[in-house]
């Protein structure tokens, strides 16, 4: 439902489901400020150079702690907005006039401010629309660069009743912001700024923001935005722009269609099929898929695989690895699809290649971590998260390889894959369970029982332990394994 114009003078309140999380965040912001902030790193005798972090990078980092598609608000996502004074790739952020950033700004948003010499992230505490002032929960309130005499723009932030600047000052210094909301923010924005509804660049950028959340339940809205952008570009005679937007519409609509079909949402499925019919008729499926990046093709393959459309999954993943022969995720997903499609030999070959690439990626990430200043706590945490993600991917690749080797009856190499999984995650039950599976298939009941006993010992969940103990008891019974 479109809000009345009087309600759109500023951004409408967020979805009520987000309120508890935002209130908790606000509480910590207040406590930090009341406690005097944090020690200011610039006061150290040898302060470390701060890394340059884009709003997109910041968005991805905070999104990792609250991924879309999960939790009590599965349709929530993070948006990154830049002032349109800056040139930013469409897939990285939404660019808007600075005045629109004032409309968007809300409590607990992270905002990037700059006087062209100092670039500073801080958190919005409150936006006073009537008095046209914006206040901040800053980690270093005494060193805030917008205090009088501390910036190149002559801005004089106030300290009482809180650290604040005027709307006019905000518009001079704002670079952009990252905000947490649901897709309704897109609807509210286009209702407030109706002229932007016909701006195909804006449509494409919002579409990318929805796709970047990596949750297919958000894909249908992205598909509609891209399809409209393609229509507008075609009407303007820009074939190249139209085809690029249509390629993204194809990606989003395909993912949305698979999601709708698996959830039994007939209306959404019909809508996505209509988008697909339009863009395929105009550009052809081969051209649409040929224009997608390997990671975008991998997303198509993943969606098809989840829907058990393994032939289509393998077809688009073939394109992905043909485009990038060092694309680990492409081999990993194709191995999984081949295994489930009854071709263990192909699955084993792809899993082996994925593991080789994983070795190289983990070595690269380790080198990058070693180069980070030890005082860079946030940078180290982010790098550790990336390393953890690749190690988790390795566990999945080993599991696929093991199952493929079992399917080929190659117990020795299946056992080696299980041993590698145990070495990777010795304190987790997965590797021990897989080893038990291999030993049971090989006919060694005693070895299977030993591996299962170890899995029970490291399993923290009582219900899972009970299921493993039942399997162990079955192994102890006489008769065929």
pLDDT band, very low/low/confident/very high, at 24 (cuts 50, 70, 90): low
Question: Which tens digits make up the pLDDT trace of 442-468?
Answer: 999 999 999 999 999 999 999 999 998
Q: How far is CA 353 from the centre of its chain?
A: 25
Does residue 46 register a pLDDT over 90?
A: no
Q: What is the mean pLDDT of residues 301-316?
A: 96
Q: How many CA atoms lie within 13 A of 346 on its CB side?
A: 15
Does residue 295 register a pLDDT over 90?
A: yes
Per the structure block, which two tokens stand in for 196?
A: 């932007």
349: burial class by Cβ within 10 Å (0-12, 13-18, 19+)? middle
Is the Cα torsion angle 66, 67, 68, 69 positive or negative in sign?
negative
- The answer to whether the peptide bond before residue 161 is cis (omega within 30 degrees of 0) is yes
Q: Are 260 and 309 in contact (CB under 8 A)?
A: no
Is the Cα torsion angle 183, 385, 83, 29 positive or negative in sign?
positive
Range name among 6-20, 258-272, 388-402, 462-476 with the lowest pLDDT average: 6-20
Residues 6+ apart with CB under 8 A from 350: 331, 332, 334, 335, 338
Q: Which pLDDT value is given to residue 29?
A: 45
Query: Reading across the β-sheet that carries 94-96, which strands appear in turn?
Result: 94-96, 77-83, 174-181, 110-114, 119-128, 133-137, 164-166
**CA–CA gap between residue 325 and residue 361 (Å, rounded):** 14
Say whether 134 sits in a helix, a strand or coil: strand
What residues does each domain of the chain span?
A: 52-182, 183-292, 428-481
**CA–CA gap between residue 290 and residue 86 (Å, rounded):** 30
Residue whose C-alpha is closest to residue 220's, from 232, 211, 231, 233: 211
237 — alpha (psi -120 to 50), left (phi > 0) or beta? Answer: left
40-46's contacts with Cβ under 8 Å and 24+ in sequence apart are: 40/140, 40/142, 40/143, 41/375, 42/143, 43/143
Q: What is the mean pLDDT of residues 73-88?
A: 96
**CA–CA gap between residue 227 and residue 94 (Å, rounded):** 18
313: burial class by Cβ within 10 Å (0-12, 13-18, 19+)? buried
Q: Which pLDDT value is given to residue 23?
A: 76
**CA–CA gap between residue 257 and residue 444 (Å, rounded):** 46
Per the structure block, which two tokens stand in for 55?
A: 């709003």
Q: Are 210 and 68 in contact (CB under 8 A)?
A: no
Q: What is the mean pLDDT of residues 61-85?
A: 93
Say whether 254 sits in a helix, a strand or coil: helix
- Portion of the chain with pLDDT greater than 70, in percent: 92
Is the Cα torsion angle 220, 254, 300, 260 positive or negative in sign?
positive
């Amino acid at each position: 439902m479109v809000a009345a114009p009087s309600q759109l003078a500023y951004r409408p309140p967020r979805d009520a489901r987000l309120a508890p999380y935002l209130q908790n965040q606000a509480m910590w912001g207040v406590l930090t400020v009341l406690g005097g902030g944090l020690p200011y790193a610039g006061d150290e005798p040898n302060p470390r150079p701060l890394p340059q972090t884009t709003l997109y990078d910041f968005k991805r980092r905070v999104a990792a702690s609250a991924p879309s598609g999960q939790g009590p608000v599965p349709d929530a996502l993070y948006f990154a907005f830049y002032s349109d004074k800056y040139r930013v790739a469409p897939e990285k952020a939404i660019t808007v006039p600075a005045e629109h950033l004032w409309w968007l700004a809300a409590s607990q948003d992270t905002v990037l401010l700059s006087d062209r010499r100092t670039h500073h992230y801080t958190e919005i505490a409150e936006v006073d629309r009537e008095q046209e002032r914006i206040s901040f929960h800053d980690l270093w309130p005494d060193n805030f660069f917008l205090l009088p005499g501390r910036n190149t723009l002559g801005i004089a932030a106030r300290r009482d009743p809180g650290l604040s600047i005027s709307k006019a000052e905000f518009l001079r210094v704002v670079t952009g912001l990252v905000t947490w909301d649901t897709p309704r923010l897109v609807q509210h924005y286009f209702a407030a700024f109706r002229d932007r509804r016909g701006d195909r660049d804006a449509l494409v950028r919002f579409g990318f923001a929805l796709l970047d959340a990596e949750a297919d339940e958000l894909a249908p809205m992205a598909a509609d935005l891209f399809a409209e952008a393609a229509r507008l570009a075609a009407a303007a005679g820009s074939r190249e722009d139209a085809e690029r937007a249509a390629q993204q519409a194809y990606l989003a609509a395909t993912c949305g269609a698979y999601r709708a079909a698996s959830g039994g949402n007939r209306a959404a499925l019909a809508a996505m099929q209509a988008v697909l019919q339009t863009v395929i008729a105009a550009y052809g499926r081969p051209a649409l898929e040929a224009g997608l990046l390997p990671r975008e093709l991998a997303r198509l393959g993943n969606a098809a695989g989840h829907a058990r459309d393994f032939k289509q999954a393998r077809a688009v993943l073939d394109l992905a690895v043909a485009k990038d022969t060092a694309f680990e995720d492409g081999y990993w997903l194709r191995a999984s699809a081949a295994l489930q499609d009854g071709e263990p030999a192909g699955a084993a070959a792809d899993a082996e290649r994925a593991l080789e690439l994983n070795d190289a990626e983990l070595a690269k990430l380790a080198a990058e971590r070693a180069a980070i200043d030890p005082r860079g706590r946030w940078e180290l945490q982010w790098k550790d998260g990336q390393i953890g993600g690749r190690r988790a991917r390795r566990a999945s690749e080993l599991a696929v390889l093991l199952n493929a080797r079992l399917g080929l009856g190659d117990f020795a190499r299946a056992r080696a894959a299980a041993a590698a999984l145990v070495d990777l995650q010795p304190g987790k039950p997965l590797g021990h369970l897989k080893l038990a599976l291999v030993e049971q298939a090989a006919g060694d009941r005693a070895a299977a029982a030993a591996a299962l006993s170890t899995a029970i010992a490291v399993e923290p969940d009582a219900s899972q332990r009970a299921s493993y103990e039942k399997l162990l008891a079955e192994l102890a019974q006489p008769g065929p394994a």
